[in-house]
Structure 1
Amino acid sequence: MSIRVSVIIPVYNAGPFLRECIRSLMNQTLRECEFIFVNDGSKDDSKEIIEEHMPLDFRIRLINQNNQGVSMARNAGLTAASGKYIGFVDADDTVEADMFEVLYTRAVEWECDMVISDFESTVGSHSIITDFPLPRCTKLDRGYIRKQLLPEFVKSDILNAVWNKMYRAEIVRKYQVIFPANVALGEDAYFNILFFSVADSAVYIDYCGYHYIATAGSATRNIADQDYFSRAVQVYETRLPEIYASLLDGKTIGELKSERLINTVLSIVHLYFEPSKDMGLRQRYKYIREMVSSRTVKEALPIYFENHYSSSGRYKRMLLEMIRKKVVPGLYLAAAYSRMRNK
């Protein structure tokens, strides 16, 4: 049987969520596909759960390796993949039964190297659909990808995820597109940058089949364990892949990086001034004070003011002024007002 889509699922200690993920894949209406689970040295029962389901569906494959991280797990899956297109699923998420049939059908219909779709994020009892400011159901050519999509990775992270996309395998193999380890911008972003920089075409479809589950209490949501601003500074200061030298001049790159950093700062203000059991108010207040007093914010803020202040809403302009003047009590009150207004 000719494999149309290879789906790569990195697995590390995913036992509590894995069965639901596997069931959603076994329900896929596309039969000509393979589900490559890469067990990245799990210490729980993840391996046994996958083995338990293998006799139930011939499409399930298992690779076991020592723990090397999600990037190396995905790369192992890429090496083993035999499909014409490649997709990704995280082991604690689920997909609609028709997801890979829909993405594959659209890829063939539009003769595209990549298909992009919406996705649903769930945090507790709240769900939201993420969509993108891109033309829908229109073939995006190489010029559009280079001028519109690649710069997006510099100024924001909205396109970073790999699991709401499908990639032509021939491109991945020909240009050796893989996931790098330990990069500030993020492994997913770098994979996408590498792929977008050599892709000739893409299509953004009107479809949502991926369900991203933000696990409550996970390390990525615990502000006591995550130094979000330091990571934002790393991204701000990191050297971009060489493709950008031919796309953007230094001034434009500086403007896009400043936009990303200050928007992150604004998000961190609201995140750290929410009531939290993970970190006391005194610590959170100190964190915000040090952030708005930092060299990088002082460097990026004037550039952001020049390019975005006049087009910002009244509330955002107020926050920007308080950041510039380092009025941390005002930021605290503004964040409290925003929470009350949005209830």
Structure 2
Amino acid sequence: MKDRENKVPDISVIVPVYNIKEDFLRKCIESLLCQTLKDIEIILIDDGSTDSSGKICDEYGNTDQRIKVIHQKNMGVAVARNTGLKAAEGEWITFVDADDWCAPEMCEETYKKAVGLDTEILIFTNYAVKENNEIAPNQFFKADIALFDYTMKNEAELKTMVRSHPDFSFQPPENMMGGTWCKLIRHTFLKQTGICFEPELVRSQDIIFYLNLFEKAKKISYYNCPLYYYRYSSDSISKRYRPDAYKVFLIVLRKQDEFIKKYKKPQLFREVFIKGTMITIGTCMRTDFMHEQNKESFGEKSRRLRQMISFEPIRSALNSHEDRSLNKFQWIQKILLKHHLIKLYLILYKMNAAVLKVIR
């Protein structure tokens, strides 16, 4: 690496780490050490790991001066990424998840492309690695885009919003646009915006981060080349029992609602938001109200669901007339909830879930 007193690194790679499988973590770090672009710094933020992850980070940190290891108490991935941003010295910033890995040429290819285009944000694409080790290239757009116009920026933001709703009609790769990875961000631009990850968001921090960052950017480019390997798992947290899950999702919905209103986004954003709200309600049903581990009475579930739909922006979404993006089942659910037919809604949802279980 070049003398850092004379030159800052070309790229800072920020990697939050928390209780990662050893073979996954080692593969991630080694893929960064093998980058063909050598003038990089690798920032490993151990977010209070209770396994050997922190020691593994130190092991690599002691063998390569390009690695910075930061240990902190567990405060969540948003705080960990912000810690990485504060420590970063590179001209450009990129994020990597500790259970993923990168192509050897990722940093070099994206750096050359971003500098050549004089862009502020370079979006590139990835390979989805499924649990059976099947690897499929993803494609956010059909070809390289040197500079996003107004329409393309809106499309990128819409796909970012969709990313927060894994059940949306878009399937990978379209719903991966909002992932933290596969972006190269000019450091000076990021500092000027003052945008960082919001610690209050337990999930979907990357969605809100990139919505606001895309909106502030004047130069966004797309490089249609998969250089990142993302481990795509069907056994996601969306299937686990999460009591009062809506309280987490509610914050994300409010942030999206604020974004749409603040920047006076086109009507399509509102339609996507309404559909996303219905999907969020469905996710809460699956992970909380109707989960097999939920032992509440029917009456208690009804009471809590009534409470959930009374909060903004869910209430306004249910009362809206923007139904064009909803499928028939979502439209029926919306009508039932809008008119507070809670018990009928719960019965319908349970019947539909039973039918889907048989079909699958």
Quick check: TM above 0.5?
yes
Specify the alignment match of 2:40 in structure 1. 33
Indicate the larger mover: 317-326 or 71-80. Answer: 317-326
TM-score, normalised with respect to structure 1: 0.76
Alpha-carbon distance in 2 for matches of 1:226, 1:271 = 8
Does the alignment pair 1:20 with 2:27?
yes
Cα 1:271–1:184, aligned 2, differ >3 Å: closer, same or farther?
closer
Task: Determine helix, strand or coil for the equivalent of 1:307.
Answer: coil
Task: Determine helix, strand or coil for the equivalent of 1:163.
Answer: coil
Specify the alignment match of 1:54 in structure 2. 61
Alpha-carbon distance in 2 for matches of 1:141, 1:285 = 51
Check the 8 A contact 1:113/1:202 in 2, yes or no: yes
Task: Determine helix, strand or coil for the equivalent of 2:206.
Answer: helix
Does the alignment pair 1:10 with 2:16?
yes
Specify the alignment match of 1:202 in structure 2. 220
Cα root mean square deviation, aligned: 4.0
Check the 8 A contact 1:171/1:195 in 2, yes or no: no
- Identical columns (%): 24
Alpha-carbon distance in 2 for matches of 1:339, 1:122 = 26
From 245, 253, 258, give the equivalent of 1:228.
Answer: 245
Q: CA deviation at 1:102?
A: 3.0
Cα 1:175–1:44, aligned 2, differ >3 Å: closer, same or farther?
same
Partner amino acid for 2:209?
F
Alpha-carbon distance in 2 for matches of 1:273, 1:105 = 50
Task: Determine helix, strand or coil for the equivalent of 1:29.
Answer: coil
Cα 1:295–1:90, aligned 2, differ >3 Å: closer, same or farther?
same
Provide the aligned length of Structure 1 versus Structure 2: 335
Alpha-carbon distance in 2 for matches of 1:229, 1:273 = 10
Does the alignment pair 1:181 with 2:196?
no
Specify the alignment match of 1:332 in structure 2. 350
Q: Please list the CA deviations of residues 202-240 of structure 1 after superposition, one character each: whole Å capped at 9, or x if unmatched.
A: 12332333333367877x345323543332333334586
Partner amino acid for 2:67?
I
Instruction: Give the 5 Å matches for 1:1-343.
Output: 1=2, 3-14=9-20, 16=22, 17-54=24-61, 56-121=63-128, 124-125=131-132, 134=141, 136-141=143-148, 143-144=150-151, 147-150=154-157, 157=164, 158=175, 159-183=177-201, 186-213=204-231, 220-221=237-238, 223-225=240-242, 227-238=244-255, 245-248=262-265, 257-269=273-285, 279=293, 287=301, 290-291=304-305, 294-296=309-311, 299-303=316-320, 306-309=321-324, 312-313=326-327, 317=331, 326-341=344-359, 343=360
Cα 1:274–1:239, aligned 2, differ >3 Å: closer, same or farther?
closer
TM-score, normalised with respect to structure 2: 0.73
Q: CA deviation at 1:151?
A: 5.9
Q: Please list the CA deviations of residues 139-169 of structure 1 after superposition, one character each: whole Å capped at 9, or x if unmatched.
A: 3446447644446666763443211211111
| Structure 2 unpaired stretches of 5+ | 165-174
